[in-house]
Structures are given as C-alpha cells and as structure tokens.
Structure 1
Amino acid sequence: MNLKNTLGVVIGSFVAASSMGALAQGQGAVEVEAFGKRYMTDSSSDMSNGNLLGGSVGYYLTDDVSLGLSYGEYHDIRSENGTGNKNIKGNLAGLDATYHFGGQDEALRPYVSAGVAHQNISNVPARTGRDHSTFANVGTGVKYFFNDNFYARAGLDGMYNIDANQTEWAAGMGVGMNFGGGSKPAPAPAPVAAPEPMPEPVAQVEEPMEMVRVELDVKFDFDKAQVKQESYGDIKSLADFMNQYPQTTTTVEGHTDSKGSDAYNQKLSEQRANAVRAVLVNQYGVPAERVNAAGYGESRPVADNATDAGRAINRRVEAEVEAQIKQ
C-alpha cells in the first residue's frame, strides 16, 4: 500500500465518520487518525533519520482504554555506510493498547500506550533483499479534544527492535475523529419522598387567594444535553407540583454559554429543553400537552460568559409554574 492509498483510506474514514449521527468519545467509540512521525534510527544501523506517514483506527473497549491498528510508510531515509547513499523504503504496522487519563468531559487527556509492531524495509545497509523486524513499543503523549469528536495528538514512542537488539524512537503528531460511542445511561434516580399534602383550608366566604410558585434550574456539562442524575430530584419536585395542580402548564427553556456558533448553540439549547421535558412527561407522568419546550441559545445569559464559572451557570434549563390556592 503506498502513501496515496494510505491517506485515501484515512480521509475516507473521516468522511464516513462525519456522516454518522451519534458522535462521542467513550466506550464503543471508533477512532480514526492521520499521523506524521519523525523516525529516529539507532546509530548502529547506518541509516539516517526519516519520516513515517500514515493512519490508524482504534476501538474504545472502555471509556478510558482503546485498542488500535496503525500503518505507516517511511520517507526520506537513506543508508549511511560505504555501500552508497541508498534510498530506504518500507512500512511499519502496529497493534497498541492505550490508556487515557482524565474523564470524557475533559479537553486535555494524557495517555500511555504499549504494543507490538512489524517493520518491513528494503536497501538496508550491509544486507540484501528486504529486512523484517519485530518491535515492542511503549509510548506516552497527550490528546486535546476540540469537542467530543475532533482531537489533535502529540506523542513520543520508544521502539525496541527485538531482532536487532536496538532501541529507536519516533516523535509525532496526529489529528483524528472519534465517533459511534456515547455516555452510559444514567442510573435510575433514587426515590424521592413525595411532598406532604397541603392541608385543606377551612371554607370561608370570599376567602382571599394566594399565588404559589415552583421554579426549576437544571445545569448541564459543556456541549452536553444529557440530564445529570443530581437534577432528577428537582425535576420530580416540579412534576409533583404540576400533578397536584392539574390546571397548570409550563414551558421549559433551554440555554447555552457563548462557546460555539449561534446556530449550533440554538440547536443545543433546544435539545436540553426537550431532554428535561422528556423526564417530566415520560418518567414523572406530567401530561405532554401541559409541557412545552423552547430553546434560546446563548441569547439570554445570566452570568459572565468570559469566565468558566459564568459559563457553567449559563448552561441551564429553566422553568416555573404558578397556581392559585386559598389562604
């Protein structure tokens, strides 16, 4: 497989990935990457340093552990002995397991890796034909996720040539896409005790009325629309109030911080509002016709979007319900 075909496979994988609906890192995700490495040969091998260009595909066995296959082709390597300055060609195919530190929601994820590789090169100094070598590899580096799907990587690999009993190095960078995974389903919320029924007021002639109100404020993680487990109790309190006063209706309003485009944030705010509406209707039994959902994107901040703390407050869904009762 030449370099053109290798890059074609990687680019094709990126295009296919971008057309899929469920994109997220985590267990079950597939990861494709294009990389370039600087290959630093052992000084006793009589070869110059060169470049390794290629791609890889991996699968996340857990949220933190992935298993990947890689393939790259060597460029710009030449022999450095008395036989002449020959152009050395070949390829390297590898299988590596990678452990990622940090959580799925963190942008910066350091990693360590270990695996094996097979090298196939020609025109090796002082040898004839092609040279086949087996490597044991270890590596470390860091990935930066621009969002759940796209990342850049920088790393350093130590490569021990078992057949030649020598150690070589490869330092490189890559860009990749991560798709097909998703967050694990949230565990069922712990049962919440129903509020004590309000005492019936003593009937009086022309009794004055009192307005009572329940407010809801659900916070979301960055670039997420999944309702967190700790928010279920507050949502249930709103549902209990609406079920107690069947004449009430509400609109759940979704909001985002200022990160991202207006169009993307508008869609994300609608997804957040619909996620809270689904919990009210499907899990706590509020009739669907009594709950509306609306998204306002980043247009209604309640805190400063210039700080992390302010953006966390703005990633929210709000709702309120009012009812009149007799005093």
Structure 2
Amino acid sequence: MKLKNTLGVAIGSLIAATSVSALAQGQGAVEVEAFGKHYFTDSSRDVQRDGELYGAGISYFLTEDVSLGLSYGEYHDLTSQDPVGAGGHKNIKGSLTSLDATYHFGQPGVGLRPYVSAGAAHQSIGQADRGGRDSSTFANVGTGVKYYFTENFFAKASVDGMYNIDANEGEWMAGLGVGMNFGGSTRQVAQVEPTPEPAPAPIVDTEPEPEPELVRVELDVKFDFDKAQVREESYSDIKNLADFMQQYPQTSTTVEGHTDSVGTDQYNQRLSERRAQAVRDVLVNQYGVESQRVDSVGYGESRPVADNSTEEGRQINRRVEAEVEAQVR
C-alpha cells in the first residue's frame, strides 16, 4: 500500500504541474511518467497469472519522434500457484528494470500520438518453491497511445509483449499511466511595446473621400538544415504579420512551407508541412490570431526560388512564406 500511496502522490504532483508555464515538445524534451500495469506471467513458474507492476520512468527525445526511456517497477499481488508449507500461498516480490526505444506517430503538440517500442529488460523475482530470487533477461516489444491534454500533460495506455530469453517463454502486460513532457526548445521572446497609432487626421467635408488603398505584409522565415524549429530571430517578423492581422480582422492567410532538394520527395514533403505548422502555431498560440484565419500547407522541394546546387541557394529554399493583403482608406 505504501507504493500505491506514493504513486498517488506522484500522479497528483504531475497534474498540479500543468499550471507551470509550458515548454515546447520536440527534440531534446524529457518525459517523466508514473504507471500501473497488469502482469500476466508464464505458466512454467509457480506463480499465479495475476499481479500488478507499479513504477515510474524517464525518457529523452533524440528527435521529435524517437525517444529513449528507462523505467523501474515493483511487482505486487503476486502469489504462488500452489500452497507453500503450512502458510498457504506465498507472496512473491520482485522488480523489473527496462530500457526501451520508442517511435511516436503524428505531430508533437496537443492531441493523440500512437507509438511502438522495443528494448530489453531485467527481472528479479522471488521463487515460490525455493528460496532466493530468479533473474531473467527479456526482449520487449510494445505498442500504445498517448493523449496530450496540453503541451506538457499526457495520459497513456499500453500493451507490452515480453520474451524471456533465459527461459524461452513469452509473457505480457497491459497498463495505464500519466506523465509530463518538458525541456524542449524554450522560447524566450522579447516583449516589444506596441507603437501607438497616430491620431487620424480630421476629415474636411469639402474634400472627396480618398480611394481605398491596398496594403500588404509579407513573411519569409528561414530554417536550419533538416529542422522545423522556428529560429529566435524570426519571431519579430512573425509578430509583425500577427499585428497586421489583428489590426485588420477580416484578413486571413495560408502559411506555405518549403525545403531544399536534399532528401527524398516524401521526407521533404513532410518536413515542409512541419515547418508551415510550426509558423502557424506561433501565429495562433503565441500571438493570438484566430485559428480559422490561418491555414498551412507544405510544398516539399517542388517550388525552389534559388539554385539547389549551391549551399547559398539551398539556404534560401529552406523557408516558410506567407502574405496578407487589406484595403484601407
């Protein structure tokens, strides 16, 4: 019961931590989680097919999609299958330490992210019919789904298959967990005081009303090679576009992502979509432009504006573009 109470405190702490300022998901992020799993043992050991594994883990994101994680859990409610001596069924204690690589599908951010995993584990567990502990090495495969309620807080459901290499037997677990994601690219944007609008000139009744004038704001954001993170120096340009759209609420725009020609067409198409989505997220989530007024699209490497055979040309082609027009009098 002590471990269950500790787990409850950990879960409560994770939920309370959602009030902390959000840090972006992505490469370099760290996830911590608490979990509980139902453990189905193999039949050759003198253990009932009933038990729970409670524990916690920590993962580091090598890329936006791939993480490497270490977890530790302790078994509870495991008993011997047959009575042991006059004491009846014996309570069996044990622990499981796992190292797993996980690939996440979908885009980082709020919403659903399925995943698959593979790795290895070390199990130390008591023996029902004789003293001491039994140690085994497992090969793990798993699948599951995470739902991110915010950029930081998520819940997960999982199914894990475990192959006991030493005993040549298979086992499996099914579980639930909650966790926190933090420590990705921290965004620190300087607060710029808005320039006050000049007072409008008085209108003289004897003068004709001026003809409408078309004004335009264009955006050109550059990206590092094979990256979809918005550079720090690009935030001021994105803010200018957001301020213009806030001033003219009838406007809308489409954010267009592009890549250079390095890599496959399929990979570059996905990379261009991620770049466009990253700029859209800054406009909507950071600068308050309504989401229905901003679309995003990726064109991959299909629309170069410079020579992809040179480094200078490829740098120019790694971009996101957008423009907004409005008629003013």
TM-score (norm 2): 0.58
Q: Secondary structure at the match of 2:27?
A: coil
Moved more, 65-74 or 173-182: 173-182
Out of 242, 246, 257, the residue aligned to residue 252 of structure 1 is 246
Give yes or no for the alignment of 1:89 onto 2:93: yes
3-state DSSP class of the match of 2:44? helix
Is residue 293 of structure 2 the alignment partner of residue 313 of structure 1? yes
**2:39 counterpart residue number:** 39
Verify the 8 A CA contact 1:101 1:111 in the aligned structure 2: yes
- In 1: Cα distance, 2:19 partner to 2:292 partner: 30
- Structure 1: stretches of 5+ with no match in the other structure: 185-205, 219-225, 240-248, 256-270, 277-294, 299-310
CA distance in 1, matches of 2:21, 2:65: 22
Corresponding residue for 1:151? 154
- Relative to structure 1, is the Cα distance of residues 182 and 228 closer, same or farther in structure 2, using a 3 angstrom cutoff? closer
Show the counterpart of 1:80: 81
For the residues of structure 2 that align with 1:149 and 1:176, how far apart are their CA atoms? 8
Distance across 1 between alignment mates of 2:59 and 2:326: 46
Whole-angstrom CA distance in 2 between matches of 1:42 and 1:254: 66
> Which range moved further: 35-44 or 209-218?
209-218
The CA distance in 2 between the partners of 1:78 and 1:253, in whole Å, is 69
Give the partner amino acid of 1:139: G
Alignment partner of 2:122 out of 118, 125, 134: 118
2:211 is aligned to 210
Q: In 2, Cα distance between the equivalents of 1:39 and 1:91?
A: 12
Q: Which runs of no fewer than 5 residues in structure 2 stay unpaired?
A: 188-206, 220-227, 250-281, 297-322
1:221-260 alignment to 2 at 5 Å? 252-253=246-247
Aligned-partner Cα distance in 1 for 2:248–2:79: 60
The one-letter amino acid of 1:52's match is L
Alpha-carbon distance, 1:182 to partner = 3.4
Report the 3-state secondary structure (helix = DSSP H, G, I; strand = E; otherwise coil) of the residue aligned with 2:81: coil
Which range moved further: 209-218 or 162-171? 209-218
**What amino acid is the match of 1:145?**
Y
In structure 2, distance between residues paired with 1:176 and 1:118: 23
Asked if the contact 1:71/1:94 (under 8 Å) is kept, the reply is yes
**1:58–1:5: structure 2 CA closer, same or farther, 3 Å change rule?**
farther
Instruction: Determine the structure 2 residue equivalent to 1:177.
Output: 180
How many equivalent pairs are there? 234
User: How far apart, CA to CA, are the structure 2 residues paired with 1:156 and 1:109?
Assistant: 15
Structure with bigger gyration radius: 1
Residues 47, 251 of structure 1: CA spacing in aligned structure 2 closer, same or farther, 3 A cutoff?
closer
Q: Distance in 2 between matches of 1:148 and 1:215?
A: 33
TM-fit CA distance, 1:210 = 3.3
Would you say the 8 A contact 1:30–1:180 is kept in 2? yes
Judge conservation of contact 1:133–1:162 (CA < 8 Å) in 2: yes
CA distance in 2, matches of 1:39, 1:115: 18
Provide, for residues 202-244 of structure 1, a one-character-per-residue CA deviation record: whole Å limited to 9, x for no partner: xxxx9995331326699xxxxxxx9989xx9xx79x98xxxxx
SS of the equivalent of 1:103 reads coil
Aligned letter for 1:65? V
Give the secondary-structure state (helix, strand or coil) at the position aligned to 1:312.
Answer: helix
Mark the CA change 1:61 to 1:10 in structure 2 (over 3 Å): closer, same or farther: farther
Partner residue in 2 for 1:70: 71
Distance 1:55 1:227, change over 3 A: closer
* Cα distance in 2 between the residues matched to 1:275 and 1:51: 43
Aligned to 1:26: 26
Superposed CA RMSD:
4.3
Identity %: 56
Q: Which range moves more in the overlay, 58-67 or 47-56?
A: 47-56
Cα deviation for residue 25 of structure 1 reads 1.9
In structure 1, distance between residues paired with 2:248 and 2:328: 19
Question: Against the structure 1 CA distance between its residues 19 and 147, is the aligned structure 2 distance closer, same or farther, given a 3 Å change threshold?
Answer: closer
